[in-house]
Amino acid sequence: MDDDEVELFHIVQEDLRLKSTVGWQNAVKVLNSAYQHLERSESQGFLDDAFSKIISIMLDQQYVVESLRVKLDHLKNPV
């Protein structure tokens, strides 16, 4: 695990703590990194603290995107 990956853990944890959010790209990168280094205590601690929060945020964001897509389709093609 390199310093950039550890730094990303800290960035995401701070974003979750201060803003209750995480960017989609950072979420994917940090979860991939944690999975690749699952044997490391840093990864385990990060996942214990942040995994459910990140997944919840990502699902909420995906729901919003899908809802907007449906609404736009209805506006483009009114019945």
From CA 77, how far away is CA 79, in angstroms rounded? 6
Report which residue type is found at 18: L
Which pLDDT does position 1 carry in this prediction? Answer: 87
Q: Are 27 and 55 in contact (CB under 8 A)?
A: no
Which pLDDT does position 48 carry in this prediction? Answer: 96
Span 1-8, average pLDDT: 93
- What are 18-65's pLDDT values in tens digits? 999 999 899 999 999 999 999 999 999 999 999 999 999 999 989 999
3-state secondary structure of 2: coil
CA 67 from centre of chain: 19
Which pLDDT does position 78 carry in this prediction? Answer: 81
Report which residue type is found at 66: E
The DSSP annotation for 27-55 comes to: HHHHHHHHHHTTTSHHHHHHHHHHHHHHH
